[in-house]
Amino acid sequence: MAKISVQQLNFFYGSKQVLADISLEIEDRKIMALIGPSGCGKSTFLRCLNRMNDTIAGARVEGKILLDGENILAPTLDVTRLRARVGMVFQRPNPFPQSVFDNVAFGPRILNTHKPKELPALVEASLRQVGLWNEVRDQLKQDALHLSLGQQQRLCIARALAVQPEALLMDEPCSALDPQATLEIEELMRTLREKYCIVIVTHNMQQAARVSDRTGFFWLGKMVEEDATAALFTRPRHTLTENYITGRAG
Partner 1 sequence: MSERIAWNEFIIGAIIRIAGFSTIGFVILIFAFLLQQGLPALNEVAPDNFLGTRWYPTFDLYGMMPLFLGSLLVTVTAILIALPLGISTAVYVREVAPQWAREILKPLIEVLAGIPSVVLGFFGMTVLAPFLRETLQLPTGLTAFTGALILAYMALPTMVSVAEDALDAVPKSYRDAALAMGATRWETIWRVSVPAARTGILTAIMLGIGRALGETMVVLMVTGNAARMPTTLGSLFLPVRTMTATIAAEMGEVAAGSVHYHVLFFIGILLFALTFLINLAAAPAILAKRRRGGLR
Residue 50 within binding range of partner 1, rule CB under 8 A: yes
Per CB under 8 A, the list member of 23, 39, 62, 110 interacting with partner 1 is 110
Beta bridge partners of 5: 25, 66
C-alpha torsion sign, points 221, 227, 230, 231: negative
Per CB under 8 A, the list member of 87, 173, 216, 236 interacting with partner 1 is 87
Rounded Cα distance between 2 and 25, Å, is 6
Residue 13 within binding range of partner 1, rule CB under 8 A: no
| Alpha helices, DSSP H, located in the chain | 42-48, 79-85, 100-111, 119-129, 133-136, 149-162, 179-192, 205-211, 229-234, 239-245
CA distances from 226 to 150, 174, 230 (A): 30, 22, 11
Residue 160 within binding range of partner 1, rule CB under 8 A: yes
Residue 156 within binding range of partner 1, rule CB under 8 A: yes
What residues from 193 to 232 belong to the interface with partner 1 (CB under 8 A)? none
Give 29 or 81: the residue with its C-beta nearer to partner 1: 81
DSSP string, 179-236: HHHHHHHHHHHHHHTTT-EEEEE-S-HHHHHHH-SEEEEEETTEEEEEEEHHHHHHS-
What residues from 62 to 81 belong to the interface with partner 1 (CB under 8 A)? 80-81
Residue 159 within binding range of partner 1, rule CB under 8 A: yes
Q: Which stretch binds partner 1 (CB under 8 A): 4-12, 23-31, 156-164, 228-236?
A: 156-164
Residue 90 within binding range of partner 1, rule CB under 8 A: yes
C-alpha distance across the termini of the chain, in Å = 34
Give 73 or 111: the residue with its C-beta nearer to partner 1: 111
Residue 88 within binding range of partner 1, rule CB under 8 A: yes
Per CB under 8 A, the list member of 38, 55, 76, 180 interacting with partner 1 is 55
**Interacting residues toward partner 1 by CB under 8 A:** 50, 52, 55, 80-84, 87-88, 90, 92, 94-98, 106-107, 109-111, 145, 156, 159-160, 163
